[in-house]
Amino acid sequence: MLTVPAALELLTDVISDARRAGATAADAVFVGDAAIQASVRQGKLEEIERSEGAFIDLRVFVGSQTACETTSDLSPQGLSALVYGAVALAKATPPDPYAGLAPEELLLKGGLPDLDLDDPTPVSPERLKLDALAAEEAGRSVPGVVNSEGASATAGQVTNAMATSHGLAQGYRTTSHSVTVTTVAKGKGGLERDYDYAVARHRSDLEAAEVVGRRAGERTVNRLDPTRLTSERMPVMFDRRLAPCLIGHLISAITGTSVARRTSFLLDARGERVFAPGVTIREEPLRPRGMRSRPIDGEGLPTRSVDIVSDGILNTWLLDSASARQLRERPTGHASRGASGPPGTSVSNVMLMPGAATPTDILSSVRRGLYVVELTGMSINGMTGEYSRGAAGFLIENGELTRAVSDVMISSNLKDMFATMIPADDLELRYGIDAPTVLIPQMTVGGHRFCSC
């Protein structure tokens, strides 16, 4: 894998070649990744897989005409074909009045902040195999578990670099470590399955494989012999493993593309109360060792912490440069760059801040409701906020979790869900979007799951 300096040198040369070929401006990103994964099943090693790859995505402008081209061929011939192909394609495309590089005055100046995202500790295939075996064995040892769908442990490294024709040249490296296990339990009503996983930037921060495996087994056994419900209105609690999905729907609704195209159910909500008073949703892109931490966005703008929602008020849209121009605003540092195509919009580390009550306190306030531990299918209308998903979990009766429940449908409108959402105090920072356990005071719970999308 290329080092960051070598990747930046390559990108700088590609951009210079693009300018000589007729581009009036250009930017390019390099992504190189390497990973090793050990997979086991039934106590035996299934495979050890190594993967490594690298690509360059080049975006060129010929006036207001633009095009993107991607290659994994980093030879001189491959890069030459990339440059001339991109410039030729740009000249053949219609003008785009919103296309262009990020404003030069907003680019990150100076060096990148050190977010401690790169763990230099080497991890052997044998160590990964032992982790996977330990996770699976811990899951299979839980009484009631009869089988395993396997476990895996992974270590990976990614090099990110970006350069532009107006002076940016920055890059950084990240690592990740993970353990995943899926178990199967058998009861009178048949088989149930569930899973658990852990992920961290540094191996020293990764949960023990045995803890992950046991938690997967316990979750699976708890779901045995589920009952079904008749259709009714009731409170619904989302386990903190699932609550981040609700925040994800908010993020989708406030991206610049959704707002500019007028396809968001929150189209006129900026500056308005969207959540209940006291609810805060915070983004922290510069969190050390964060799973989505990044010092710059996909166009080279510095990232910064921001309260997307504070005291229930929606404060901001999430804008890349193109959507910002369309809305006649400034980009917010939320551009993202994928394997191909122009920048999109994404967030870094986002968290729904904890509330004042414990999950137990919130649970005790519910006479009859549903505690959701799995969501399946999806029917979300981005323009109206109508929400409908398949679900499984546990019936809440007189403030306690009782019978397992499966094959139900939960539905409402995201506007109503956001406005009445009650977060508990059990926030843990584990993934890219984190949230505590959440209560939605009223949803429609259908008697059977009919969505198979």
276 within domain boundaries: no
- Total domains in the chain come to 2
Tell whether 416 is covered by a domain.
Answer: yes
146 and 165 share a domain? yes
91 and 239 housed in the same domain: no
Share of the chain above pLDDT 90, in %: 92
170 and 122, same domain (yes or no): yes
pLDDT band at 278 (very low <50, low <70, confident <90, very high): very high
Which amino acid, 72?
S
Q: Is the pLDDT of residue 451 over 70?
A: no
Give the mean pLDDT of 257-274.
95
Q: 312: which residues sit within 8 A by CB, 6+ positions away?
A: 273, 274, 275, 276, 277, 278, 279
Mean pLDDT, the chain, as a whole number? 95
Is residue 367 in a domain? yes
Helix or strand (DSSP H, E) at 213: helix 209-222
Same domain? 240 vs 209:
no
Distance CA 174, CA 119 (A): 8
User: What's the average model confidence in pLDDT over 221-245?
Assistant: 93
> In terms of domains, do 56 and 101 share one?
yes
Q: Do residues 92 and 241 both lie within one domain?
A: no
Does 166 map to a domain? yes
Helix then strand count (H, E) for the chain reads 9, 19
Contact 180, 128 (CB under 8 A): no
Same domain, 232 and 212: no
Rounded CA gap, 332 and 444, in Å?
A: 37
In a domain, 196, yes or no: yes
**Mean pLDDT across the stretch 276-286?**
97
Flag whether pLDDT at 449 surpasses 50. no
CATH number of the CATH domain containing 83: 3.30.2290.10
Domain housing 358: 225-245+354-446
Residues 133, 232 within the same domain: no
pLDDT digits (tens, 9 = 90+) for 416-429: 999 999 999 999 99
Residue where a domain stops, chosen among 218, 253, 287: 218
Tens digit of each residue's pLDDT (9 = 90 or more) over 312-352: 999 999 999 999 999 999 999 999 987 777 899 999 999 99
Confidence (pLDDT) at 396: 96
In a domain, 190, yes or no: yes
Residue 254 in domain:
no
Contact 132, 209 (CB under 8 A): yes
pLDDT of 448 reads 56
Q: Are residues 230 and 103 in the same domain?
A: no
Residue 234 and residue 108 share a domain? no
Q: How far apart are CA 298 and CA 284, in angstroms?
A: 16
Is residue 326 a part of any domain in this protein? no
**Residues 218, 204, 33: CA angle, nearest 5 degrees:** 100
Are 207 and 229 part of one and the same domain? no
Give the contacts of 192 (CB within 8 A, at least 6 positions apart): 184, 185, 186, 220, 223, 224, 226, 404
Q: Worst-scoring range by mean pLDDT, 133-137, 354-358, 449-453?
A: 449-453
Rounded to whole angstroms, the Cα distance separating 318 from 333 reads: 8
**Residue 27 sits in the same domain as residue 110:** yes
